[in-house]
Structure 1
Amino acid sequence: MDLADIPIFSMLRSRMGYLSEKQRVISENVANASTPGYTPHDLKAFSFQAKLQAVAGPGSMVATEAGHMLPPGAKRGVNVKPVKAKDSETTMDGNSVVLEEEMMKLTDARMDYDAAVSFYQKSLDILKLAMRRPGSGA
């Protein structure tokens, strides 16, 4: 059995992929902080509810094996697209990147990523515990 077949691991992997992409978009914004006319980008908020509906909506089919066909409208992997997002300030050259806001977004994304990694690790530990032979010790 592959870990991707377990829904919690699939959702955590999608969440970590989203947060990695968010960090990439933020770093791109910071890199273009001095570019005239640059508008910062951001990603739409990640929603576990939307992910659940995409994977297993009410009465919908679910792809349980890698070779299975996906239900209509469902997609595999991380599929996020950056959107232009105006920050609170625009300089005289038209650049609207505010480094303080980008650093706050980056800190939030990093904390969320660390929490997802921790939850992933705890879930793996629970699976290892469940697979251990009774009375085998630590």
Structure 2
Amino acid sequence: MLDGLSFFKLASQRLSWLSARQKVVSENIANADTPAYKARDVTPFDAMVKGTRTGLATTASGHIGGGAMGGTLSVRPDETGWETSLDGNTVVLEQQTVKASEISEQYKLATQLYRKGHELLALSATGLR
């Protein structure tokens, strides 16, 4: 019911995007010692919201499977890598930890905004606090 309102739809899309991004960061961390592994990330949230395709674009069977999210969300090589190791691996654990922390904070903010929006909607409908 609340998904029909644009605020709640956007908040829901943001939470889905953050979840997908956290999964990719976790996979990067899991492959930190894999020779020639290239760190990955998902497309930016604004590109997903502005996109016209529905669902997740995957390039291999092991990538994120998808439900409809309203735009294009794809896993791509992370171009912001800090360094490449001698074996060709581009995962830097410190960088991935920073990303995981950012994702966690963004997730908390998005859930708080969703909750506040629900509280405002309930207040406007009932007049009760």
TM-score tier, shorter chain, comes to 0.7 to 0.9
Letter in 1 for 2:28: N
Structure 2, unaligned runs of 5 or more: 56-67
Alignment RMSD (CA, Å): 2.0
Deviation at 1:75, TM superposition (A): 3.3
Q: 1:100 maps to which residue?
A: 94
Q: How does 1:44-55 map to 2 (within 5 A)?
A: 44-47=43-46, 51=49
Tell me if 1:75 matches 2:23: no
Deviation at 1:90, TM superposition (A): 1.2
Deviation string 1:68-124 (CA, Å, 9 cap, x unpaired) is xxxxx4637324111011412111111110000001111111111110000000000
Secondary structure of residue in 2 paired with 1:83 = strand
**Greater relative contact order (Cα < 8 A, sep 6+):** 1
Tell me if 1:113 matches 2:107: yes
- Identity of aligned pairs, percent? 30
C-alpha distance in 1 between matches for 2:87 and 2:53: 42
Letter in 1 for 2:41: D
Letter in 2 for 1:75: T
Deviation at 1:131, TM superposition (A): 1.6
Matched pairs, number: 114
TM-score normalised by the chain length of structure 1: 0.75
Q: 1:9 maps to which residue?
A: 8
Letter in 1 for 2:78: A
C-alpha distance in 2 between matches for 1:74 and 1:109: 24
Greater CA radius of gyration, 1 or 2?
Answer: 1
Structure 1, unaligned runs of 5 or more: 55-72
